[in-house]
Structure 1
Amino acid sequence: MATTRRLLALATFSSILFTGTGCAIAPAPEESWGEIRFGVEADVPPFEYRNAQGELVGLDIELGNALCAELHARCVWVEQPYATNIAALQAGSFDAIMPMTATPARRETVDFTQDLYALQSQLVVPRGVNLLPNPQSLKGERVGVLAGTSREAFAKARWAPEGVTVRSFGLNTELIRSFQAGEIDATLQNTLEISEALLSTPEGVAFTFAGPAIVDEMLGGGVAIATRKTNPDLTAALNEALQRLKDNGKYAAITEPYLGAAPSEPVKMVHTPAAAAGLPFSETVQVGQTLYISGLLGLDANGELVPGGIRAETAQIVETLRGILKANAIGMDRVAKCTVILADLKDFAAMNQVYASAFPADRLPTRTTIGAKLLADARIEVECMASL
């Protein structure tokens, strides 16, 4: 009987041990979000639009579906005009806006994920029209923008007060028709979007970009996913899913057909301290392998103008320049370009005798010489560029 009890106890203990061990090694189920509802305006090729079969397609749709797959969620796409999508998000019509430019003003109202990709905004004009993306050039002109976008906010804040007429459109297709009909003189657009919608079409040959891309905090630097501030868990989950897509190569596979390969990192810039305390500029700025050197005056170690006129000031500038180059492990032979500013152009010959002798005869840098009034009663100022 005692033996039987011992066997039963051993069997019970073994059963408990096996069950406990089984629970310990069983994989925890991955978190599932059930469904994620994205608000989207399906009229913006190549980002989000309906194809000939009526299917919702585009870069943002592919990215959204991939994010949902990473989170074991079902994507639900809710079509919503861009101009009212923040209000609809706050009202609970959907969980996130896909995508939206993350600007400082919008961050006060909604949260944003990490950027999905970069974007640029440029002015588009009829070919042959001499307009530039600044209020001086656009004064009196009519510029079309898409309602509710960061470009609309930028144009109304930066250009409208300077006499530019800003016209807002609910749909980009409406804006483009108005542009082609001559009802507006220019339009501020996302470069990829307008290339797809107009510039790459047969009708688009009559239009072109004007000036460089506009850089302004109101325009942001990229697009992200907007979420309610009351839903930080979703924001964090989307960020984690986006990082996984980048790590496993799926992000590149989705984005490169639309955007091309990701751009290289921006060239690093290195600023040295100001040449003298309180001056609002750096002594040098290194950009890649190029060293930009601020204008040099003939000042001694105490910041006083050296006596002796143009020759003495030029000689002092040469010595200061040599010291800056030496600190960057290069010599005078690496100077590629200098601009010489003379208070009196009659000093040219005397300056040139000292200046020219400072460089190797077979390595003279290019040079521009101009006349202008200088600070501190200086007779000469020299600024240079060198190759590291």
Structure 2
Amino acid sequence: MTRRILALSLALFAGSGCAVPPPPAASWSEIRFGVEADVKPFEYRDERGELKGLDIELGNALCAELNARCVWVDQPYATNIAALQNGRFDAIMPMTPTPARRATLDFTDLLYPLESRLVARNGANLLPNAQSLKGKRVGVLAGTSREAFAKARWAPQGVVVRSFNLNGELIASLLKGELDATLQNTIEITEALLNTPQGAAFAFAGPGIVDEMLGGGVAIATRKTDPTLTAALNRALQRLIDSGKYAAITQSYLAPVATAPQQATMVHVAAGAGLPFSQTVQLGQTLYLSGVLGQDEGGKLVRGGIRAETAQALEILRNTLKSRGVGMDRVAKCTVILADINDFSAMNSVYMRYFPSDRLPARTTFAAGKLLDDARIEIECLAGL
């Protein structure tokens, strides 16, 4: 997505930069797409200056289905949302739909899936999480969902996030050792670096990242005031799929990066003090957290009974998740073990305060009769990264 992680766009526009009013919503004889054509294999210019790439082919095919003329408007990806809202063009193609972007933009159905992964030098032993990347320099493209993700999830945990306007500049910095890693979509970085002679020293580090801030693919972004255009593009996309034209266009671009399923990476963090278990185990994008008691830093149970022990156990779990760059809203399942089932109501009154009311994890609760160190509660959870 260089500055647009996949900003395909249509419309080569060499104007004064003034806003151009969109055509009437009822008729689309011309569709203007914002494009920053320097991202192989999505959108780029060949040696003759002609637009090429997956997004260009898809855009032209969609326009053909609508009997409209495609116009490609040159626009830096980091500024294309403002340019779209100001009427410089009609759509951004493509753009990753995220909750933040959906607040101000409309989106078509997904055009194709994309995966975001970390790339680092061979042997760097880095993983795409804040714990592994703390103190490291990670390059991202300005204006992309990956930049927003890295600044929100990683930077607060001590990761140095550096933004670049052009992928060429980012890769040059990576090659000179000014960056430790880069967060990219797999197709673009494969084309721009990994498949080049210089890229032999680099590889994907760890599994792909799954997060709502990154989305799962790309779509066409439109103004919320243009619902007829969004609907028309969706109908055209469905016709391309039904006719087989979509597969003919996308197969050669997307197939080369399809890889055989790999065994999920496991990362163990020791509990310390010679304990015979791990504090956490990451398997793929799932984090398993060992059960914790309501103990202080010295290993002694906090005073105050079930309410105090529940709060302390959940604080320990919250801090462990925070160290991995995620919050309690990412907890998917918890098991609560009580020494006395009569503590159930008091435990619940504390437990509920630690999770968003609309994101409560699944849960199993049972009484064990007696717990280690005469604790009144033990809690274990698993979370998605």
TM-score by length of 1: 0.60
Aligned to 2:89: 94
Greater per-residue helix proportion: 1
Give secondary structure in 1 for the equivalent of 2:207: coil
1:206 to 182, 190, 201: 201
Aligned to 1:144: 139
Give secondary structure in 2 for the equivalent of 1:195: helix
Aligned to 1:117: 112
The alpha carbon displacement at 1:51 in A equals: 1.2
Aligned to 2:251: 256
**Superposed CA offset, 1:168-193 (max 9, x none):** 00011111111111111100000000
Structure 2: how far apart are the matches of 1:250 and 1:261? 19
Structure 2: how far apart are the matches of 1:90 and 1:216? 27
Please say if 1:164 is aligned against 2:159.
yes
1:326-341, aligned counterparts within 5 Å? none
Please say if 1:73 is aligned against 2:65.
no
Q: Is the 8 A contact 2:187 2:257 kept in 1?
A: no
**Superposed CA offset, 1:310-332 (max 9, x none):** xxxxxxxxxxxxxxxxxxxxxxx
Give secondary structure in 2 for the equivalent of 1:145: strand
Query: Which one-letter code corresponds to 2:368 in the other structure?
Result: A
**Superposed CA offset, 1:258-292 (max 9, x none):** 012999xxxxxxxxxxxxxxxxxxxxxxxxxxxxx
Structure 2: how far apart are the matches of 1:69 and 1:131? 46
Structure 2: how far apart are the matches of 1:79 and 1:181? 30
Structure 2: how far apart are the matches of 1:255 and 1:32? 28
Structure 2: how far apart are the matches of 1:378 and 1:196? 59
Q: Percent identity?
A: 76
Aligned to 1:354: none
C-alpha spacing 1:205/1:184, structure 2 compared with 1 (3 Å): same
Aligned to 1:230: 225
1:312-331, aligned counterparts within 5 Å? none
1:304-315, aligned counterparts within 5 Å? none
Runs of 4+ in structure 1 off by over 4 angstroms are: none
Aligned to 1:41: 36
Please say if 1:154 is aligned against 2:149.
yes
Structure 2: how far apart are the matches of 1:182 and 1:151? 21
Structure 2 unaligned blocks of 5 or more = 1-25, 259-365, 372-385
Bigger-Rg structure (1/2): 1
Question: How many residues align structurally?
Answer: 239
C-alpha spacing 1:116/1:261, structure 2 compared with 1 (3 Å): farther
The alpha carbon displacement at 1:375 in A equals: 6.2
C-alpha spacing 1:182/1:262, structure 2 compared with 1 (3 Å): closer
1:83 to 70, 73, 78: 78
Please say if 1:53 is aligned against 2:45.
no
Aligned to 2:14: none
Query: Which one-letter code corresponds to 1:213 in the other structure?
Result: G
Aligned to 1:220: 215
Aligned to 2:183: 188
Give secondary structure in 1 for the equivalent of 2:127: coil
Structure 1: how far apart are the matches of 2:46 and 2:104? 33
C-alpha spacing 1:43/1:249, structure 2 compared with 1 (3 Å): same
Structure 2: how far apart are the matches of 1:90 and 1:131? 39
**Superposed CA offset, 1:164-221 (max 9, x none):** 0100000111111111111111000000000000000111001000000000000001
Aligned to 2:293: none
Q: Is the 8 A contact 1:67 1:241 kept in 2?
A: yes
Give secondary structure in 1 for the equivalent of 2:368: helix
Q: Is the 8 A contact 2:120 2:204 kept in 1?
A: yes
Structure 1: how far apart are the matches of 2:367 and 2:176? 54
Q: Is the 8 A contact 1:117 1:222 kept in 2?
A: yes
- The Cα RMSD (Å) is 1.8
The alpha carbon displacement at 1:377 in A equals: 4.5
TM-score by length of 2: 0.60
**Superposed CA offset, 1:291-350 (max 9, x none):** xxxxxxxxxxxxxxxxxxxxxxxxxxxxxxxxxxxxxxxxxxxxxxxxxxxxxxxxxxxx
Aligned to 1:376: 368
Q: Is the 8 A contact 1:256 1:262 kept in 2?
A: no
The alpha carbon displacement at 1:378 in A equals: 8.4
Give secondary structure in 1 for the equivalent of 2:48: coil
Aligned to 2:272: none
The alpha carbon displacement at 1:119 in A equals: 0.2
